Amino acid sequence: MTSPTPTLQAELNVALLQHTAKASTAEFFQFLEHEVAKCAQAGSQLIVLQELHNGPYFCQTEDLSQFDRAEPIPGPSTELLGKLANKHQVVIVGSLFEKRAPGLYHNCAVVLEKDGSLAGTYRKMHIPDDPGFYEKFYFTPGDSDGTYKGFEPISTSVGKLGVLVCWDQWYPEAARLMTLAGADLLIYPTAIGWDLNDDESEQKRQLDAWVTIQRSHAIANNLPVLSCNRSGFEQSPSDNDHNDNTSNRAESGIQFWGNSFVAGQQGELLAQAETNGEQTLLATINLTKTEQTRRIWPYLRDRRIDAYDALTKRYID
Amino acid sequence: MTSPTPTLQAELNVALLQHTAKASTAEFFQFLEHEVAKCAQAGSQLIVLQELHNGPYFCQTEDLSQFDRAEPIPGPSTELLGKLANKHQVVIVGSLFEKRAPGLYHNCAVVLEKDGSLAGTYRKMHIPDDPGFYEKFYFTPGDSDGTYKGFEPISTSVGKLGVLVCWDQWYPEAARLMTLAGADLLIYPTAIGWDLNDDESEQKRQLDAWVTIQRSHAIANNLPVLSCNRSGFEQSPSDNDHNDNTSNRAESGIQFWGNSFVAGQQGELLAQAETNGEQTLLATINLTKTEQTRRIWPYLRDRRIDAYDALTKRYID
């Protein structure tokens, strides 16, 4: 277990950096330096980046050469993120393609403390795989010790961060385990978008579902939720190199749907970004509202832990 | 385990009966007979009633005489519900105050088959207790065998019904266990409302949270959700007989907030009732959409059952 956060401040100013893919890591860090400076000047204390922010979303095809993007953690990116965090005295949540060993890679969130040190990492536990999002090819799922590890909050000067990544956001189990392990807030760096072959009503249902499921984690756990998503269209590197027979295939690319948001402890939207374009979303959350909310909506009090054993089953048959 | 549903029909016409409290069980059944006949004529095959529909919500105070309302199951109400179900060839989900033994009472959902037989029961597993909702005084929590029982769907001619009750709706665990045990849809008879001492913005947050958390169960499990809530104001029998020092106390009664709804497999709202007044809400759900949705949003495929053990802990400390 991580040690308790010494002083939980009531109000916390947060920023989410929603942006389109940059052509290179260098170009991204140039953009980031500018945005972090602006956020810090505006009073932000915690800055959340989107999933795999260093470059394009490279999982649209299965391509061996993409593994060259991976880097060790700590490594070059955590060093740059740490310098920025230290320079502007902010906590930064980033998302990197981790090379853990030759041939062993993770989708890894990193948290940099105000002093520039690496406060902790989280390796994405639930790995998706569907046309245009071939993540099971690239990412080994995060380790588990069979209890909750994997799902362990990261202690920082601004609170215990329940950092999860993208596909994790569809799993109430992940949010609950972070909560039980003491998270003060839930954070989702994300890269999700539309297959433009889907019609408008289907696209609307998908976006609504994405906002709703994450707001529900705020509600079920009485915790603020910060979700930072990619925006912009990213062309698929190739339409032909994956033998894919589904009609749902992303033929030409993904339209990342933005809509990064911050929700309070009752799931109420405190701030939400646009669908398109780059936007740095600022919001203030109140971490002490968790205890107030839990006193009158005490879900943790009434959980039927005597009847939940089968949650560790694949299916009851 | 219950046996598999022999034939899962694609389209199912459902009805939710949202109403104000009736003065007596006799008056309620008169109302019910009229509504069920109307629904059946309109083609409804499954009719869901609100929580403790026979009379007023009696848990606003702790009053020994209220236990006289309890009845055995099977008993007079299941007999009346069964007759109605048989007469109109519909499946009915009801909600009763069960007397299981002298001094042992449950908040129990009942399912009546088209032939009038009792298809099954569900005893509310999560019991709330807060000012104006003194349910822990009245209701013994449903039994568990330590795995999932308690959370077991009820097999009927229209599908396996994942019937849960009110406070259960805030628990993703309950919806998930019903899903893993094979539920074709989730059903929540409910009695929830506002403390009129709360201001309008707080009331809005609570109602939004209630809709959102239940829509999230549809999303996380790719199942339709039917939630039938009470409406109307019910005066508290007494403002003085409970030694309650909180400022949040329901001083004068509960304004039940209606808004019964039906959601599809992506959490999309198919139908929603008004806040006030009586309303019989009709909708058509498509049960075969579950498998279609799960093929492209395969949450069940990727659950990290190797890392969920701590879900059976009260807290990780």
The interface predicted TM-score of the complex, written ipTM, equals 0.94
- pLDDT by residue (tens digit) across A173-207? 999 999 999 999 999 999 999 999 999 999 999 99
Indicate the average pLDDT of chain B: 94
CA gap B256, B196 in Å, rounded: 10
Q: What does the radius of gyration of chain A's CA atoms come to, in whole angstroms? A: 19
Q: Assess whether pLDDT exceeds 50 at residue B151.
A: yes
What pLDDT is recorded for position A251? 57
- pLDDT the model gives residue B6: 54
Please give, rounded to a whole number of angstroms, the shortest distance from the CA of B286 to a CA of chain A: 16
Q: Which range of residues forms the domain containing residue A249?
A: 11-312
Q: Which residue has the tokens 């945005």?
A: A35
Edge to edge, the sheet with strand A253-257 lists A193-195, A253-257, A231-235
Active site residue A83: no
Please tell me which residue of chain B has the smallest CA distance to A171: B220
Task: State the pLDDT at residue A9.
Answer: 75
pLDDT at A235: 96
Give the minimum alpha-carbon distance from A277 to chain B in angstroms, rounded to a whole number: 26
Measure the CA–CA gap between B277 and B47, rounded to whole angstroms.
18
Mean pLDDT of chain A: 94
A48 phi, psi to nearest 5 deg:
-110, 130
A207 touches chain B (CB under 8 A): no
DSSP bridge partners of A271: A262
The rounded distance, in Å, linking the Cα atoms of A101 and B310 is 29
| Structure tokens belonging to residue B64 | 């020994």
The pLDDT value recorded for residue A1 is 43
Number of domains, chain A: 1
Please list the residues that pair with B231 across neighbouring strands. Answer: B257
Q: Residue A6's pLDDT band (boundaries 50, 70, 90)?
A: low
**Token reading at B124:** 């509310």
pLDDT of the residue at B254: 96
Does residue B1 lie in a domain region?
no
User: Looking at residue A15, what is its pLDDT?
Assistant: 98
Q: Is the pLDDT of residue B142 over 50?
A: yes
A181, B1: Cβ pair inside 8 Å?
A: no
In a domain, A69, yes or no: yes
Task: Give a yes or no: residue B2 inside a domain.
Answer: no
Q: How confident is the model at residue A100 (pLDDT cuts 50, 70, 90)?
A: very high
B169, B194 in Cβ contact below 8 A? no
CA–CA distance, B125 with B171 (Å, rounded to integer): 10
> Does residue B227 lie in a domain region?
yes
Proportion of chain B above pLDDT 70, given as a percent: 93
| Tens of pLDDT, residues A101-154 | 999 999 999 999 999 999 999 999 999 999 999 999 999 999 998 777 899 999
Q: What is the pLDDT of residue A2?
A: 47
The confidence band for A289, taking pLDDT boundaries of 50, 70 and 90, is very high
Residue B6 lies in a domain: no
Residue B4 lies in a domain: no
The answer to whether the beta carbons of residues B134 and B90 sit under 8 Å apart is no
**Greater model confidence, B250 or B192:** B192
Say if the Cβ atoms of B305 and A312 lie within 8 Å.
yes
pLDDT 10s digits, B1-59: 445 555 677 899 999 999 999 999 999 999 999 999 999 999 999 999 999 999 999 99
pLDDT of residue A147: 76
The predicted model scores a pTM of: 0.94
Q: Is the sign of the CA dihedral A150, A10, B209, B267 positive or negative?
A: negative
Would B259 be classed as within a structural domain? Answer: yes
Q: What pLDDT, on a 0 to 100 scale, did the predictor assign at position A195?
A: 92
When pLDDT is averaged across residues A60-86 and rounded to a whole number, the result is: 98
Within 23-82 of A, beta carbons closer than 8 Å to B belong to none
CATH number, residue A141: 3.60.110.10
Residues of chain A in contact with residue B311, where contact means CB-CB under 8 angstroms, are 173, 176-177, 180, 305, 308, 311-312
Q: Which of B268, B306, B317 is the best mutation test for A, with the most CBs of A within 10 A?
A: B306
Tokens describing residue B280: 């019989």
**pLDDT at res. B251:** 57
Residues B268-313: pLDDT tens digits?
999 999 999 999 999 999 999 999 999 999 999 999 999 999 999 9
Cβ pair A172:B170 closer than 8 A: no
Question: Tell me, what amino acid is at B310?
Answer: A
In a domain, B135, yes or no: yes
